[in-house]
Chains A and B, each alone.
Chain A
Amino acid sequence: MRTKLHQVGRRLLQALPSVFGVVVISFALTRALPGDPAIYFAGAMADKESIEQVRIALGLDRSWLEQFFIYVGNLFKGDMGLSLSTGQPVLQELLTRLPASLELTFIGLGLAVLLAVPLGILAATHPGSWIDHVCRVLVTAGVSLPTFFTGLFLIYIFYYLLGWAPSPLGRLDILYLSPPTVTGFYTIDSLLARDGETFISSLKQLILPAFTLGLFALAPIARMTRGGMLGALSSDYVRTARANGLARATVLLTYAFRNAALPLLTTLGMVFSFLLGANVLVEKVFSWPGIGSFAIEALVASDYAAVQGFVLTMALLFVVVNLTIDVILTLTDPRVGLDD
Chain B
Amino acid sequence: MRRRDFLKTAGAVTGASVLPFLKFLPAEAAGRSDTLVVVAGQGINSLDLHRKGTNRPSYQVTVNIYDRLVRFGVTELKDGSLSYDSTKIEPEVAESWTTSKDGKSLTFKISPKAKFWDGSPVTAHDVKWSFDRAVSLGGFPAVQMKAGSMTKPEQFVVVDDMTFRIDLPKPSKLTLPDLAVPIPFIINSKVAKAKATEKDPWATEYLHKNPAGSGAYKIARWDPGQQFVYERNEDWALGTKPGVKRVIVREVPSASTRRALTERGDADLYMNVPAKDAKEFKEGGKIKVSGAPIDNCLHVLGLNLKHKPFDNKKVRQAIAFALPYKEIVEAAAYGRGKPMYGAKEMTPSTIKWPQPFPYDTDFDKAKALLTEAGFGKGFETTLSYNLGLADWQEPTALLIQEALGKIGIKVTLDKIPGANWRTAALVKKSLPMHLENFGGWLNYPDYYFFWAYKYGHLFNSSNYKNPEVEKLVDETLHMSVEDPLYAANVMKMISIAFEDVPRIPLYQPYLDSAMQKSVEGYASWFHRQLDCRTISKA
Contact = CB atoms under 8 A, between A and B. Distances in A.
A302 B252 CA distance: 22
A180 B37 CA distance: 24
Given A87-B53, A159-B260, A197-B3, A54 B139 contact: yes
Nearest to A43: B140
Interface extent on A, as a size class?
35 or more
A194 B427 CA distance: 56
Contact of B45 (A87, A170, A171, A283): A87
A46 interface: yes
Nearest to A86: B45
Contacts of A168: 252, 257, 260-261
B364 to A, nearest CB: 40
Given A170-B226, A194-B1, A301-B419, A155 B260 contact: yes
B3 to A, nearest CB: 6
Interface string B440-471: 00000000000100000010000000000000
Nearest to A48: B427
Contact of B225 (A50, A97, A301): A97
A177 B224 CA distance: 14
A178 B222 CA distance: 12
Interface in B231-270: 248, 250-254, 256-257, 260-261, 263-264, 266
A177 B222 CA distance: 12
Nearest to B144: A45
Nearest to A156: B260
Contact of B254 (A39, A44, A284, A294): A284
B427 A51 contact: yes
Interface string A177-194: 111110000000000011
B411 to A, nearest CB: 23
Interface in B182-236: 208, 223-226
Contacts of A171: 226
A91 to B, nearest CB: 12
A169 interface: yes
Contacts of A92: 16
B419 A287 contact: no
Nearest to A176: B27
A177 B256 contact: no
Interface in B1-48: 1, 3, 6-7, 9-11, 13-14, 16-17, 24-25, 27, 30, 37, 43-46
Given A156-B260, A177-B7, A45 B140 contact: yes
Q: Which of A58, A148, A300 has the most CB of B within 10 A?
A: A300
A22 B418 CA distance: 26
Nearest to A181: B14
Contacts of B163: none
A284 B255 CA distance: 9
A289 B49 CA distance: 24
A164 interface: no
A224 B250 CA distance: 41
A160 B388 CA distance: 28
Contacts of B44: 87
Nearest to B1: A194
B537 interface: no
Contacts of B254: 148, 152, 284-285, 287
Q: Which of A42, A45, A170 has the most CB of B within 10 A?
A: A45
Contacts of A51: 427
Given A41-B53, A87-B45, A87-B224, A178 B14 contact: yes
A289 B225 contact: yes
Given A45-B458, A46-B140, A174-B30, A193 B10 contact: yes
Given A46-B143, A287-B250, A93 B225 contact: yes
Contact of B10 (A49, A53, A180): A180
B46 to A, nearest CB: 5
Interface string A29-51: 00000111001111111111111
B340 interface: no
A5 interface: no
A180 B14 contact: yes
Contact of A96 (B13, B225, B248, B427): B225
Contacts of B419: 35, 40, 300-302
A313 interface: no
A50 B422 contact: no
Contacts of A35: 417, 419-420, 423
Contacts of A53: 52, 138-139
A195 B225 contact: no
Interface string B47-61: 000011111100000
Contacts of B261: 167-169
Given A87-B54, A301-B419, A45 B143 contact: yes
A88 interface: yes
A195 B6 contact: yes
Contacts of A167: 261, 264, 266
Interface in B326-377: none
A141 interface: no
Interface string B136-149: 00111011100000
A160 B260 CA distance: 6
B221 to A, nearest CB: 8
Contacts of A163: 264
Contacts of B144: 45
A249 interface: no
Nearest to A49: B138
A310 interface: no
Interface in A278-294: 283-287, 289, 293-294
25 contacts: A34-B417, A35-B419, A35-B420, A36-B423, A42-B140, A45-B458, A49-B138, A51-B427, A53-B139, A54-B139, A57-B52, A87-B45, A87-B54, A88-B45, A97-B225, A160-B260, A169-B250, A169-B261, A174-B250, A175-B27, A180-B13, A287-B253, A287-B254, A289-B226, A293-B253
Interface of A: 34-36, 39-51, 53-54, 57-58, 84-88, 92-93, 96-97, 148, 152, 155-156, 159-160, 163, 167-171, 174-181, 193-195, 197, 283-287, 289, 293-294, 300-302
Given A42-B139, A53-B139, 6 more contacts: A35-B420, A40-B419, A57-B52, A175-B27, A287-B253, A289-B251
Interface pairs A-B: 5 shortest CB-CB? A43-B140, A87-B45, A35-B419, A180-B13, A53-B138
